[in-house]
Structure 1
Amino acid sequence: MLLPRSSTLSGHIKLCFLTLAVLVVVAHTSPDGWLKTCFYGLGKCRHDCKTSEKKKERCGDFTFCCIPISKSKLHTLPPSCPMRWKPC
């Protein structure tokens, strides 16, 4: 004889596995994953910064705070002049 419905405990276990599967998929499909933010929320802690980012400070033993160059203060400075006697 079969039971008319599954027990409540097995329903909760199925819901937990479904939630875990969704969280794993979301973590793998998001471009940056779940990374710790740093430098007042402007940067992300990573092992290696992207080419469009600048290292600002250390986040831990093996990670650096990577800030986009567009949000960095020094990106607006003009390039230095190689010859001081001639204006740029």
Structure 2
Amino acid sequence: MGGDAMGRLWGFLGQARNRAILGWIGSGLAVAAAGVWAVVTFAFPDRPAAPGAGVACAQQGIAAGRDASHNTITVNGAGNAGSLACADAGRK
């Protein structure tokens, strides 16, 4: 952009009416983008998780993570934790 083009741009932006119109156009584009985002996320929801995704395996003791608060955990030594299939058993 040459000096003449910059002068015309600043002359355009210097007028309060032009700034107000640009503000309305920008606000309208932001609202339209939010509406498109809402429609896309509604029409194309997340795919279901793969089987075994998010499964934790506790080889010894108790594994607890997210969403584990306010739950009762009962441990009765009768079970054999080594016989349970573990989600990450094949990774070793």
TM range (shorter): 0.3 to 0.5
Structure with greater strand share of residues: 1
Is the radius of gyration larger for structure 1 or structure 2?
A: 2
TM-score by length of 2: 0.34
Which structure's residues are more often helix, by fraction? 2
- Which structure ranks higher in relative contact order (CA pairs < 8 Å, sequence separation ≥ 6)? 2
